[in-house]
Amino acid sequence: MKKAVAAEPVEKAAAAKSVKKKAAAAKSAKSVTKAAAAKPVKSVTKAAAEPESRTALVRRARRINRELAEVYPYAHPELDFENPFQLLVATVLSAQTTDLRVNQTTPALFAKYPTPEDLAAANPEEVEELIRPTGFFRAKTKSIMGLAAALRDEFGGEVPGRLEDLVKLPGVGRKTAFVVMGNAFGRPGITVDTHFGRLVRRWKWTQETDPDKVEKAVGELFPKSDWTMLSHRVIFHGRRICHARKPACGACPIAPLCPAYGEGETDPEKAKKLLKYEKGGFPGQRLKPPQSYLDAGGIPAPPLGATAPPATGE
């Protein structure tokens, strides 16, 4: 009887030891399972850090373009114009200012000088006063009056549709020429403005900073037929979501494809407050935007001196 009593604690100790062993074994098995599950993530991370092949870059760039096409089916040039001459002048005036300010300024300018002949014969001081809100008004007056005179004297008062002719006009570079060619004549062109350059570098499409080199590098990633609309979509995205100082990463529809994700606000609610124009419920840049933009909830910009309508939310 004494032996049995003495053996009881020993048996209990043995049982406890066995339970501990089983628990340790289970813990070990669990760790192995976790490690095995973590392995693919590790390899994905490693793969993501490897240099992107040319083929992968092209695929990712084109996928971003397709995603942007769904987000901005109403993307368009954000300068108001009714003919190639108005677009050409408006684009020259848009240097170092916003499209909104140009759109608020050009109605009075075009009402007084509707043709190249009219603008070429204008009083420079009167033109300066009309375009003063766009900034650098003296230099811009010289450019737009010079190009108006060139159109009158060399092209019969018509805006040419060829790149080599457009870039000969005063104040007209490749960027302005491609805006006019793509939107007034339907000829493909890539518009490399500050938004476009910033985004394509963030997306690692190119590291170039010179606009002509950016244009060439990006153009090689896409068929020519995509160039004009690609420009609109990228610029739209740069103005609405992927801002220069504080991009709204948490509200960005192409975040999974973006190598620069995390440079801006990643919290969805905070990021949503950073959205601009129709995405944030605010007026756009055009006083007379396309109907598709209005149908998508876009609000026309107010005329010069008018009070902007309040934000309505998305």
Annotated catalytic residues are: 175, 193
CA distances from 42 to 34, 36, 49, 121, 252 (A): 12, 10, 11, 70, 25
Helix/strand/coil (H/E/C) assignment for every residue in 6-62: HHHHHHHHHHHHHHHHHHHHHHHHHHHHHHHHHHHHHHHHHHHHCCCCHHHHHHHHH
Give the chain's radius of gyration (CA, Å): 30
Phi and psi torsions of 105, nearest 5°: -95, -35
Q: Which residue, chain included where needed, has tokens 């493909």?
A: 188
What's the CA gap between 67 and 61, in Å, rounded? 10
Closest CA to 277 of 58, 91, 75: 75
What's the CA gap between 282 and 266, in Å, rounded? 22
DSSP state at residue 160: -
| Residue 223 token pair | 């068929």
CA distances from 33 to 4, 19, 38, 45, 136 (A): 43, 21, 9, 19, 67
